Amino acid sequence: MGDSTQEKTKSFNKGQMIFREGQLNPVAYMVKKGTVTIYRVVNNRKVVVGKMLPGQIFGESAVITGEPFHANAVADDFVELLIIDQTTLKTLLLKCPGPMQRIVRYLMDRISVLEKAVHEQPAPNTFLSICQILELTHKASRPVSAPAKGAESSNAPVPFSYVDFCRNVRNVLLVTQLEIDEVLERLQRLGVIVISEIKGATYRKDLLGNMNVSSEYVQDKQLSLKDPGAFMTVARNLSQELPEKFPPYTRELEFVDMQGFAEMVKSTPELLYKKLAQHEIPENMFFFPKDAMREWAQVKGEDFFQRVKRKRLNIDELESVDDLVFVDNNTLRDVFQKIGFHKVLILYAGAQEETRTKLLGGMSGKIAAMVKEESADRVVDDMELADVEAEAITLIREIKGAAK
């Protein structure tokens, strides 16, 4: 909330929330300066109810009726608001003639009903909608050339990209990736669709200059309908048997899932997870659907959240200084002796906290103390760090190779 500029006046900067839907507040507001947007969020879609200009009052219905706000209010720019408390508002209303008071209360009741109607409109059947897009995508993916005589091309499974399909669904239905994944996983479990992985690989040169596969990763997935001709019939039957499970993943704000956020910033979910783990993205930017998260957490159990399962890397998969947490202390000591104190200092200064603890374990107590002291205010050059990383990793591979 903004700070009070004078008695019964508040100011808000651009983008600040004045109040949220469901919040109880014993005051209404009159706009003195700037503009305010009043909006609802329905199925992750922002629905603007109105714009408040200087001289206009908003929030009065909740004050008079004592009910929570039925909408959200956000400052469009720098705004100054005059606070109108419950006593003042009721005093002004009592000064009006009796018939006018009844008209005002009637209008407030009607506005309240209309506001609730915006929120209570039933959401579309997410399961069936995604199935319909699946069928359309299958049809659009069929070969343009004429089918062979007697062939049933429309009933032949045609694979198409999982990633592209999900992107199209999010654009059409405004649902989250979590909802799409759950529908597709359900269809796969029931044997209605087939999901297959397309794998890619990274290659590295060995000491002889040969290119070898160092690791594999899932580049994309492919979807295909098992029986395209009967797919929608099966989908409709399933939608009747399975109640709509997906609540809106938003209550007060518009949310975007990790896949959508990655597309927004032209990144990948995997990279964003790493940035979040390294505290490069503010934690207060991430929210979870409470009911769905509680249900999932109960299935996983408390022990699941008490430890992190680290993926173990092979020596050939080491890429950066933070991968040195997978190297044993004896090997690290041999490497440190060969590269010298200055380069050890560079590695330590460029490492994350967990890796620093690991690196110190490969040093004597005296050297560890010196490294910690001298790296306190050290700024690491990225190019210099990359060179030292490459040298250290090469030495590790030589040492481990010689030990075989």
CA dihedral 84, 113, 12, 257 (to 10 degrees): 160
Q: 249: which 2 tokens?
A: 């993943």
The pLDDT assigned to 31 comes to 92
Q: 20: which 2 tokens?
A: 């949220």
The pLDDT assigned to 23 comes to 82
Domain 315-403 top-level CATH class = mainly alpha
Q: Mind spelling out the 3-state secondary structure of 120-143?
A: HCCCCCHHHHHHHHHHHHHHHHCC
Q: Could you give the CA distance from residue 253 to residue 49 in angstroms, rounded to a whole number?
A: 15
Q: 198: which 2 tokens?
A: 């397309």
Q: Could you give the CA distance from residue 42 to residue 254 in angstroms, rounded to a whole number?
A: 9
Question: Token pair 């399909």 is at which residue?
Answer: 165
CATH architecture of residue range(s) 4-120? Sandwich (2.60)
Does domain 126-141+155-246 fall into CATH 1.10.10? yes
The DSSP secondary-structure symbol of 289 reads -
Four-residue CA torsion sign, 59, 63, 65, 69: positive
Work out the end-to-end distance of the chain between its first and last CA atoms, rounded to an integer number of angstroms.
Answer: 64
Q: Could you give the CA distance from residue 206 to residue 202 in angstroms, rounded to a whole number?
A: 13
Q: How far is CA 342 from the centre of its chain?
A: 41
- pTM > 0.85: no
The pLDDT assigned to 297 comes to 84
For residue 180, the number of C-alpha atoms closer than 13 Å in the C-beta half-sphere is 24
Q: What one-character-per-residue DSSP string does 12-73 give? A: E-TT-EEE-TT---SEEEEEEES-EEEEEEETTEEEEEEEE-TT-EESHHHHHH-PPPSSEE
The pLDDT assigned to 241 comes to 72
The pLDDT assigned to 214 comes to 67
The pLDDT assigned to 78 comes to 93
The DSSP secondary-structure symbol of 188 reads H
Q: Could you give the CA distance from residue 21 to residue 68 in angstroms, rounded to a whole number?
A: 7
The pLDDT assigned to 12 comes to 93
Q: Where are the domains of the chain?
A: 4-120, 126-141+155-246, 315-403
pLDDT in tens, the chain (404 residues): 444 334 588 999 988 989 888 887 778 888 999 999 888 776 566 777 778 889 888 887 777 667 787 788 999 999 999 988 877 776 766 777 777 666 666 666 655 555 555 444 444 577 888 898 898 888 887 765 545 554 445 567 788 888 888 878 876 766 667 778 888 988 999 899 999 888 777 767 666 767 776 666 667 788 999 888 889 888 888 887 765 444 433 333 456 777 778 877 888 887 888 788 777 888 767 777 777 778 888 888 877 777 655 556 677 777 788 888 888 888 888 888 888 888 888 888 888 887 888 888 888 888 888 888 887 777 778 888 888 888 988 998 888 775 44
Taking a C-beta distance cutoff of 8 angstroms, is the pair 104, 112 a contact? no
